[in-house]
Amino acid sequence: MFLNSEADYAIRIVSCLADCDGRLDAASIADKTGVTLRYSLKILNKLAQGNIVKSFKGSKGGYVLAKKPDNITLLQVIELICGPIMFSRCTGNEGECTHPMGVCYFRDTFDDVSRYMKSKLSEVTFERK
């Protein structure tokens, strides 16, 4: 199981902004992260809508983090891009389990794994020590 490329790139972009002392324009972000400009703009828009970054328009425009790096977690960025982390679809809302005999035997284990992943990802911030 892997993060999708959009989540991976979003993590790169937030990390890049955490390393920066000021605003960066989208072209500079794309260059520093290795993400195409077009894809960077798409991700930056999602990050701005999710209040992870702030965008500024105009010739002095660019992007900065909307919060301090230590207040942004990997979980926040990943869930903003991918949606809620669930090891299996059956750990979502009641009734989503597609097992023909009702809720499967493994649901509790999958739920435990999902909670563990969320817990670990919420412990890691973009703060540079």
pLDDT (tens digit per residue) in 50-92? 999 999 998 889 999 999 999 999 999 999 999 988 887 777 6
Q: Where are the domains of the chain?
A: 5-123
Q: Could you tell me the pTM of the whole model?
A: 0.87
CATH number for 5-123: choose from 1.10.10.10, 3.90.1150.10, 3.50.50.60, 3.20.20.60.
1.10.10.10
State the pLDDT at residue 50: 97
Task: Enter the tokens of residue 113.
Answer: 């794994």
Distance CA 54, CA 51 (A): 7
Distance CA 56, CA 44 (A): 12
Left, alpha or beta for 3 (phi > 0: left; psi -120 to 50: alpha)? beta
Task: Enter the tokens of residue 33.
Answer: 């992260």
